[in-house]
Structure 1
Amino acid sequence: MNKSFPSLRTLGLAAALAVGGIAFVGCTTTPAGSEASGPSARNAMDQNVDATLARLYSTVPGSRELVQRAAGTLVFPSVVGGAFVVGAEYGKGALREGGRTSGYYSTTAGSVGLQAGGQSKSVVYVFNTPEALQKFKSSKGWTAGADATVAAGKIGANGSVDTQTYQQAVTSFVLTNVGLEAGAAVGAAKITQISM
């Protein structure tokens, strides 16, 4: 037997790996170029944050005033989740202070339970006090619920943000394709500062 030629088993394994690799690449849900960084990525993110805030203002009466009075607002325009029994969510966003972006962040969360499918939502965290914002900014990885209690933004009987929402240190709003997800909790989302 000539040792200079690879065995059929080796060729078969190499072919299977090549086909599997191509199939795996074809199954990715991350669009090409979505991991871009630099000025164009920051500009795109800032535009998405502006659009998300505009949507919040039109969906939740009184939210513009809440954000304007806040020490800071962290906006994730698109948090994408996928699940089949075990779920995961991921998104990127920006922190606004005084109407200007002061940093970029990622959010990740996992869950276990009877669930299926995927979804996309926008998540907005409003830091109502300077102390809550400072604690968030000084952390090396902030987890909602563990590092701070995050109250779901509530709408009062008059259809506007209620007074209890203003009194919470950190409030969150979750927007889906159909509007505000009333009373939605953000769970144990881990938030980390990133470079863009």
Structure 2
Amino acid sequence: MSKSIIMRLSCIALVCLFLGSLSSAEAATKEEKRQNVRNMASTALNRLYDSRPSAREAVENAAGYAVFQNTGIKILVLGSSRGKGIAVNNQNGAETFMKMAEGQVGLGIGVTKYNVIFVFDTQDALNRFVNKGWDFGGQATAAATDSVSGGSFEGAASVSEGIWMYQMTDSGLALEIALKGTRYYKDGDLN
């Protein structure tokens, strides 16, 4: 691949990142930014429920859940993603606004937008995620189920003890979930 093509693709990726940051900067107040994240989470959950109706029961009966919207860019062998989200404690309704960042290595090119929805079986798993942040590495395959909830977690991947994850792309539920160098942490600006 020639240097001019690589340079053009890099410029396109930088413009996409810049435009993405402008759209998140449009909200003038902290509460407007929080409401944007809540709206995104509601839309993502509704898409999940339309795709996997059994997921509604899993989310509603869990200790809590978290929803993120991520945008990723991949140019040749390097890629990165960033996003925002919210974790909700189902017991008391407490909201924690969060961010994510990801780096990956592997062949590819393009820009993707996707949602990640975590479901926490236990209060301890939710608290660890929210209070300590979380780092991932590796990959999980979707369509896992647990013996306790029957089909409630159909289409989800078990990513850690007591934590299930759904990944939604524009075309629906992802069949493979990549968790390469991903970090989830509290958003210091919105909490």
**Higher Rg:** 1
Tell me if the contact between 1:79 and 1:90 (Cα under 8 Å) persists in the aligned partners: yes
The question of 1:82 aligning with 2:83 is answered no
Determine which of 51, 54, 60 is the counterpart of 2:52.
60
| Matched residue, 1:110 | 103
Structure 1 gap segments, 5+ residues each: 1-22
Cα RMSD (Å) of the superposition? 3.2
Tell me the percent identity: 27
| Matched residue, 2:34 | 42
Q: Per-residue CA shift, 1:24-70, capped at 9, x if unaligned?
A: 9x933335351344111111111111111111111112100000111
- What amino acid is aligned across from residue 125 of structure 2 in structure 1? A
Q: How many residues align?
A: 167
Tell me if the contact between 1:151 and 1:170 (Cα under 8 Å) persists in the aligned partners: no
Q: Per-residue CA shift, 1:109-145, capped at 9, x if unaligned?
A: 1001111111111111111112211222331x31135
| Matched residue, 1:29 | 19
Tell me if the contact between 2:64 and 2:121 (Cα under 8 Å) persists in the aligned partners: yes
SS at the partner of 2:71?
strand
C-alpha distance in structure 1 between counterparts of 2:52 and 2:95, whole Å: 24
**Alpha-carbon distance change, 138 to 32 in structure 1, aligned in 2, over 3 angstroms:** closer
C-alpha distance in structure 2 between counterparts of 1:159 and 1:128, whole Å: 15
| Matched residue, 1:73 | 65
Displacement, 1:173? 0.6
SS at the partner of 2:177?
coil
Structure showing the higher strand proportion among its residues: 2
Structure 2 gap segments, 5+ residues each: 1-10
Normalised by the length of structure 2, the TM-score is 0.74
Tell me if the contact between 1:151 and 1:171 (Cα under 8 Å) persists in the aligned partners: no
SS at the partner of 2:44?
helix
Residue correspondence of structure 1 range 34-183 to structure 2 within 5 A: 34-35=24-25, 36=27, 37-76=29-68, 78-84=69-75, 85-98=77-90, 100=93, 102-139=95-132, 141-145=133-137, 153-154=142-143, 161-162=153-154, 169-183=162-176
C-alpha distance in structure 1 between counterparts of 2:39 and 2:176, whole Å: 27
SS at the partner of 1:192?
strand
Normalised by the length of structure 1, the TM-score is 0.72
C-alpha distance in structure 2 between counterparts of 1:101 and 1:153, whole Å: 28
Tell me if the contact between 2:66 and 2:86 (Cα under 8 Å) persists in the aligned partners: yes
- What amino acid is aligned across from residue 83 of structure 2 in structure 1? G
SS at the partner of 1:52?
helix
SS at the partner of 2:39?
helix
- What amino acid is aligned across from residue 111 of structure 2 in structure 1? G
Tell me if the contact between 1:151 and 1:172 (Cα under 8 Å) persists in the aligned partners: no
Displacement, 1:71? 1.0
C-alpha distance in structure 2 between counterparts of 1:109 and 1:103, whole Å: 20
